[in-house]
Amino acid sequence: MAAVFGKLAGAAGANLLARALCYVALFSCNGAGMGLYLASLQRQASLRATVFSNAANIIATGLLGRGLYGERIGPSWLLGVCCVLAGLALITRAAPPAAVAAVATGAAATALDGASATPPPPPHQRQAGRDAGQVAEAEAAGGSNSSGAASSSGRGIEGSAGSSTKWQQQAPRRSVASAAATASAVAPAAQQPAPSTGGSPPADAAASSSTSTSSTSTSSPGPSSSSAAAPTITFSRETAEGLGRLGKLSHRLILAYDGTDYCGWQLQPAAPTVQAKLEAALCTVLREDRGVLGVRAAGRTDSGVHARGQVVQFSCDRELPGDKLAYKLNAVLPPDIRVMAVRRTAPDFSVTCSPIGKTYHYNITNSEAADPLRHRYAFHVRKPLDLGAMRAAAAAMVGTHDFTQFSNIGEEGGRPRKRNPVKTLRRVDVVELDPVAFPGGVRIEVEGTGFLYKMVRHIAGVLVAVGERKLPPSIVAEMLEVGNNAPPGRHGTYRGYNVAPARGLTLHEVQYDPRVDDPTALLYPELRHDEYGRLLESIPEALRQSDEE
C-alpha cells in the first residue's frame, strides 16, 4: 500500500492537497508495517520475521503494481519471490516455533518437579561476594566464584528409565527414572538452555561432576572417613534447582601469574583481574559460557600479589585433554598468566574446602641498592637484617594461635568482622638465598591450613621490623597473647611495623590429598550427591580440610 500511495503522489495531474494526503497515507502505511514487524519479533525469531516481512513486501508490491498500473511482472520479480519463499521454508523447517520450545521446556520442568519430593538446596552465595560476588548466586552457574550463583532453573537432564549412572549405589530411583525419561523425550524441542542468574557457585556447595556411564563404581572413603566400608550414597535430581547449568565434569588447573598489573584474582566491574583473563580464555577455547564453567580459585590473591601454584577449579560437560588444553589456553592468555597443568578431579572436589594446606613465600632483597630485576617480586630492605632474631620470632608463630593482631580483620561499621582468627601454622622459616644467584636474597616461607586477610604480609612486616631491631623478638608472643581481646593494632594505628607490600608475596603451593585427582572416588561420601557425584549440600566445618577465610 505504501508503494501505491507513493506512485499516486507522483502521478501527473495530482493537485497539492491530493499529493499531501497521499504522502500522509504513505507514512502511515510505513509506520503500520514497522509496527507489525516489531510485533512479529516478539513471537518469531528475528531472521524469520525479517523474511516474512520481505516476502510480503515483494509479493504485495508486484501484484499491486500489476493490478493498478499494469506494470509488467518480469523474471527478476519471480526469481526474488521464489528465493524468499525458499528461504522461509528452510528457516521454518530448521527451527520450531518459539511456542513449541516454551511448551517443551515447561513440560520438562513439570516432569522434574514431580519426580523429587526433596526440596531444592539453599541458594548459593556469590563467588564475587564470597569471592567478591561468588561466582551466591553467581552469574552463570551456580554458576561460579570467584570471586562465582545458583541458577534457578536446570539444564536439560539426560537419562532414561532403564539407565544407571557411574555413581549409583543401591539408591531407589523409580520416580527419578521416569522423570528422566519424560525430560529426555521433550528436551530436544527446547533450543535454548534455561537462563541462569549468573556467576560461579560456592566452592563448598557446587563441587564438580563425573561422567555418566552404565557401570557401577565403589567410592573411596572421604578425607574425614575413618571406617573401611564406604556408607551408602543416595542421589537425586536436585541439580535442576541447586546447580543450574554447571558442567558435569570437574577439572582443576595449576596457574602461575605475575600479579603486578592486576587488581587481584577476583572479578571486579571495571578493573583488570586474573579471573577475568582466565575466564575469557576458557570461554574462547572451550566454547562454553561462565555459567557452565563456574570458575573458582583456592586463594583470592590481593592486588599485586603473585602466584606460582594457584589452583583453579572449573567444570565442563566433556572430557578434556589436559596437555593440549594447557597449550591452547596459554596461546590466548597474556604472557604474565600461564596454565602449568590441567587435571580431572573427583566429582565432589571443592577447590576451597578440600586443601590440606597452603604455602606462601615472601621475598626480600636485603642490600644497599635494590635489584632492578627483582623489583616487581621482592621487597627491598636497605638496613641489614638480623636473621637470627627473625628466626627466633618466627618460631613463636608455629602452632595454633589467635592471629587477630596479625591481620586486617578489624571493625566494619562499628561491628567486628565475623572471622575465625584461630589458625594453625605448620612452619615459618626465614631462609637466606644463594648470594650468587640472589644477592641479599631472603625468603620468608609460611605454611598453614588457613590464613586471615593480609596475615602473611603482617607476619613479614613484623619479622622485618624484628630484623631491623625496631621490635624485640618477644613482640610476637605478646601479640599472640592479646589475640582478639583487643582490636588489631592495640598500640594505635601504627603497630610498631609496616605491613609488607604486596609485590613480595607469592602463593607458592596449595596442597591436596592425592585422591582429589581420582575421577572415580568420592571425597565426601557421607554427604548428598546428584547422579554425577556433585555435592548437593555445603561441606560442614568438621569435614573441611582448610579453614581459609
Q: Is the pLDDT of residue 377 over 90?
A: yes
Label residue 51 by pLDDT band (50, 70, 90): low
- Angle at the Cα of 535 (from 338 to 343), degrees rounded to 5? 25
**Tell me, what DSSP letter sits at residue 453?**
T
pLDDT given at position 417: 55
pTM here is: 0.58
SS3 of 35, please?
helix
pLDDT at residue 444 tops 90: yes
Is it the case that residue 149 has pLDDT exceeding 90?
no
Q: In 125-253, where does DSSP find H-type helix?
A: 174-186, 239-242
302 is catalytic: yes
For 461, residues 6+ apart whose C-beta sits below 8 A from its C-beta are: 497, 498, 499, 500
Instruction: Give the model confidence (pLDDT) of 156-206 as tens digits.
Output: 333 333 333 444 433 333 333 333 343 344 343 334 443 333 333 443 433
Of 302, 371, 386, 547, catalytic: 302
Among 2-6, 335-339, 347-351, whose mean pLDDT is lowest? 2-6
- Max CA pair span of the chain: 109
Residue 211 is predicted with a pLDDT of 37
- CATH hierarchy code of domain 126-188+195-348+513-549: 3.30.70.580
| Averaged confidence pLDDT in the chain | 72
Of 5-9, 12-16, 315-319, 536-540, the range with the lowest mean pLDDT is 5-9
3-state secondary structure (DSSP) of residue 492? coil
| Rounded average pLDDT over 444-458 | 94
Residue 58 reports pLDDT greater than 90: no
- Residue with more model confidence, 123 or 84: 84
pLDDT band at 217 (very low <50, low <70, confident <90, very high): very low
Sequence-ordered list of residues with C-beta below 8 angstroms from that of 75, at least 6 positions apart, any chain: none
pLDDT for residue 35: 73
Q: Calculate mean pLDDT across residues 458-463.
A: 96
Q: What is the DSSP letter of 132?
A: B
Q: What is the pLDDT of residue 542?
A: 75
Radius of gyration of the CA atoms of the chain, in A: 32
Per-residue model confidence (pLDDT) at position 18 = 78
380-385 long-range CB contacts below 8 Å, 24 or more apart?
381/464, 381/467, 381/468, 383/468, 385/442, 385/464, 385/467, 385/468
Which three-class secondary structure state does DSSP give residue 309? strand
Range in 25-34, 75-84, 216-225, 410-419 with the lowest mean pLDDT = 216-225
| Grid cell digits, residue 283 | 570461554
Looking at residue 480, its pLDDT comes to 92
- Cα distances (Å, whole numbers) of residue 252 to 212, 298, 305, 333, 350: 19, 10, 21, 17, 10
Percentage of the residues of the chain whose pLDDT score is greater than 70: 60
Question: Which part of the chain has CATH 3.30.70.580?
Answer: 126-188+195-348+513-549
For the segment 313-324, the average pLDDT, to the nearest whole number, is 88
Mean pLDDT on 27-43: 69
Per DSSP, the three-state class of 305 is coil
Query: Which of 216-230, 375-389, 427-441, 505-519 has the lowest average pLDDT?
Result: 216-230
pLDDT tier at 334 (50, 70, 90 boundaries)?
very high
Query: Would the pLDDT of 399 be above 90?
Result: yes
Q: In a 3-state reduction of DSSP, which class is residue 315?
A: strand
Look at 265 and 139; give whichever has higher pLDDT.
265
> What is the location of CATH 3.30.70.660 in the chain?
357-509
Pick the residue with more confidence: 217 or 494?
A: 494
Reported CATH class of domain 357-509: alpha beta
